[in-house]
Chain A
Amino acid sequence: MSARPPAKSAAPVASSKVKTLTIDDRLVSAREDESILDAARQNGIQIPTLCNLDGLTPVGACRLCVVEVKGSNKLFASCVTMVAEGMDVVTDSERLQRYRKTIVELLFSERNHVCAVCVSNGHCELQNLAQALGVTHLTVPYRHPKLPVDASHERFVNDHNRCVLCQRCVRVCGEVEGAHTWDINGRGIGARVITDLNQPWGSSETCTGCGKCVQVCPTGALTEKGKSVREMAKQSRFLPYLTMMREDRHE
């Protein structure tokens, strides 16, 4: 049996692969294949996120992680923007706070979120974000759309009223479980998560029933059956370990 190869992070990195940049007036360095979000976190700078989850490919779906890069008027989603030499990043400003709050407000107004009676009440990442960002009410009107609940799976429920379209379910099922049961159907306000060819979850032939999608879903959209209000605490910490173990094995 050969000796175990060194872990990824311990491997020597050529100096050309290391970029130096500024985040919130602090000089930091990061590997060129790292995102602004990675670099910020490694230096203890917190940027709010929702769709991003350690262990899944970033997709830039929610835009909560937006930052400013000096010299550009555009805002950049820090989870999908790679670091670059000399970049000067601002992670917190009045403008960014305004945008982040508006994003959270739109997520609440777009579906039906009734926290008081939600199984995820008290464990929900959307709730946490609203509180952390100081969203005490919506400045946009509620839409109150009529949305279905799919309870056809024997162990899980999909409640479209609570979905924020973060695509974590799509990614964990495709990238980690390898089943690719989930997808997004439609566009914009009409977009919905679907299982297989837009059929009831319970009739899906690809779903293995592993429950990974339920555990990574940040809200009360995917839950275990039989949970009552406040009972649905998620366990998403399995993910970084699982990915780490697999990476080790591939090397």
Chain B
Amino acid sequence: MSKVRLATVWLDGCSGCHMSFLDMDERILEIASRVEVVYSPLVDPKEFPADVDVTIVEGGVSSEEDLHKIRMVRSRTKLLVALGDCAVTSNVPGMRNTYKVEEVLKRAYFENADLKQQVPSEVIPRLLPRALPVHEIVPVDVFLPGCPPPADVIFGALVSLLDGTTPDLSATRFGR
């Protein structure tokens, strides 16, 4: 049996969900024996490949880059998993949503900066008007709420997805 092609992507999140993923400790070997990690901040490839079976997304959709990326990821993925509150609810990145983008940038790059007060025009992708949960942009197949979701829940969910059963999410919730 060929291995399941697994990818993980990191949008607007703090990397805490990826950390929680790694927190499953030696059980990650059991996952590793059943999947091939084809793309992730944790592995080398720089291009998101075609024909991915499962992609786990951390983070909300906040910038034009996130938007482009999540659409591309969705089009190349069979099963999309929203991992953690930022991906599921927009959570902390969404706290700026009651303000206009200009107000947010002014706060960050002028009021809270002493030197070189200016909004960067290169390298940093432009912010969308609001940071949104992944499923408000593209369809999501599985939701794992939590900030971050406990390693046990991530492990359990992955195993059931690999087994083709429905994950038990009763042990995780918004926040913790």
Contact = CB atoms under 8 A, between A and B. Distances in A.
A144 B98 contact: yes
A115 B174 contact: yes
Interface residues of A, number: 24
Interface in A103-124: 108, 112-118, 121-122, 124
B145 A118 contact: no
A143 to B, nearest CB: 9
A136 B88 contact: yes
Interface stretch (A42-50, A126-134, A188-196): A126-134
Contacts, number: 73
B135 interface: yes
A126 to B, nearest CB: 9
A137 B140 contact: yes
A146 B175 CA distance: 21
B173 interface: yes
Interface string B20-44: 0000000000000000000000000
A137 to B, nearest CB: 4
B161 interface: no
B173 A127 contact: yes
A137 B85 CA distance: 9
B80 to A, nearest CB: 12
Interface stretch (B48-56, B89-97, B112-120): B89-97
Contacts of B92: 114, 116-117
Contact of A112 (B85, B98, B132, B173): B98
A115 B175 contact: yes
A142 B133 contact: yes
A115 B85 contact: yes
Contact of B147 (A115, A131, A141, A145): A115
Interface of B: 82, 85, 88-92, 94-95, 97-99, 130, 132-133, 135-136, 140, 143-145, 147, 169-170, 172-176
Given A114-B92, A121-B175, 16 more contacts: A112-B98, A115-B173, A115-B175, A116-B175, A127-B174, A131-B170, A134-B169, A134-B170, A136-B88, A136-B144, A137-B88, A137-B143, A137-B145, A138-B89, A141-B136, A142-B132
